[in-house]
Amino acid sequence: MSETAMALTRIETVNLAELLRQFRELMDAADSADPAVQRLTPDAYPDDARSSRQFRDLTASDLLARRDADAAAVLDSLGAPLAAPDNETAAREEITLSLSADQLEAWLRTLAALRLVIASRLGVTSEDDHDPSDPRYAVYEWLGYRLEMLIQLTE
């Protein structure tokens, strides 16, 4: 696959970079009691607690390290750290990223993982768990929109 071009506004890149930094902090902490971390390291054997725990003990740190590496790749693909825009015109300025196949895969995995973390924090377990009056859902929805756009780029 050749390079894939993706356009984001400057404010999107700044906000995404902050989400990625927070995500990486979560990966560094790797608190196995955190429901978000548990969503990122799912049960392999949901009907067998002992086997599932053993599997998680053997694989969780590697899985979280890969998620962290993916997030680092996405952060790196955003380019030089951007300052928060100081006006609406600057915020809406479009930035085009050129993503390699490996970067695109990292983006897909990372946006999906970010959505899992936010869903965990918001208590989202189904499509019906949505409160449009809560502004935190806008971030969850935006990540879903961007994920869908990336998937369409791969088709």
For 25-70, write each residue's pLDDT tens digit.
999 998 888 889 988 988 888 899 899 889 888 888 999 999 999 9
How far CA 105 is from CA of 44, 89, 129, 137, 151, in Å, comes to: 23, 31, 28, 24, 10
Check residue 74 and give its pLDDT: 96
CA–centroid distance for 82 within its chain: 19
pLDDT digits (tens, 9 = 90+) for 93-105: 898 999 999 999 9
Q: What CA dihedral angle connects 108, 113, 119 and 121, to 10 degrees?
A: -150
pLDDT of 81 strictly over 70: no
Cα separations (Å) of 127 from 119, 131, 132, 140?
Answer: 11, 11, 12, 12
Residue 106: CB atoms within 10 Å:
23
Q: What share of the chain is helix, strand, coil (3-state, %, to 5)?
A: 65, 10, 30
